[in-house]
């Protein structure tokens, strides 16, 4: 009498290798898509903060049409502080706008004269943000 063939349950080596290759491909594509996301996130945050400072300058000018814009940066910040908010929270200092250091840098903001837009410098890389291009330049 013939015996029936007996198969072991489980996966073959070919199936395991195929699944591993597929998983590696998916992970590789995912990591490739995330490349540079910290730099983009930092640039986006700094650009938003600079726009917020410039907007505060415009609001201050609308409320004080005849007043002279303060000459030094500390006085400028004191004048603009009521107009600077992040969400519903007041900004106690320009350092409070500091992006998370995990985003690759220590950024310092400058409130320039009224006719000049605010600027930002990344102390970690000694680069300034070029607002027209959105790139960090030496």
Q: What is the pTM of this model?
A: 0.70
Q: Provide the domain limits for residue 54.
A: 37-137
What does each C-alpha distance from 56 to 13, 18, 43 come to in angstroms?
65, 58, 20
Residue 10 domain-assigned (yes or no): no
Give a yes or no: residue 6 inside a domain: no
> In this predicted model, what pLDDT tens digit does every residue of 23-67 receive, in sequence order?
999 888 877 776 677 778 888 888 888 998 999 999 999 999 898
At residue 125, the 3 state secondary structure works out as coil
Number of domains within the chain: 1
pLDDT of residue 8: 73
Q: 63-104: per-residue pLDDT in tens?
A: 998 989 888 888 888 998 888 876 667 788 887 887 776 666
1 belongs to a structural domain: no
> What per-residue confidence (pLDDT) applies to 96?
80
29 token code pair: 């594509």
Is residue 32 one of the residues assigned to a domain?
no
Q: Is residue 26 part of a domain?
A: no
Residue 71: inside a domain, yes or no? yes
The answer as to whether 11 is a domain residue is no
- Asked if pLDDT for residue 115 goes beyond 70, the answer is yes
């Amino acid at each position: 009498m013939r015996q029936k063939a007996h198969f072991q349950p489980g996966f073959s080596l070919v199936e395991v290798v195929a699944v591993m290759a597929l998983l590696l491909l998916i992970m590789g594509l995912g990591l490739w898509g995330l490349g540079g996301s910290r730099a983009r996130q930092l640039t986006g945050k700094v650009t938003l903060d600079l726009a917020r400072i410039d907007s505060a300058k415009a609001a201050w000018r609308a409320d004080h049409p005849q007043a002279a814009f303060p000459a030094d940066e500390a006085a400028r910040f004191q004048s603009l502080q009521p107009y600077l908010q992040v969400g519903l929270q007041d900004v106690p200092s320009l350092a409070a706008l500091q992006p998370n250091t995990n985003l690759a840098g220590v950024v310092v903001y400058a409130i320039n004269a009224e006719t000049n837009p605010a600027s930002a410098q990344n102390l970690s890389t000694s680069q300034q943000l070029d607002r027209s291009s959105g790139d960090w330049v030496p």
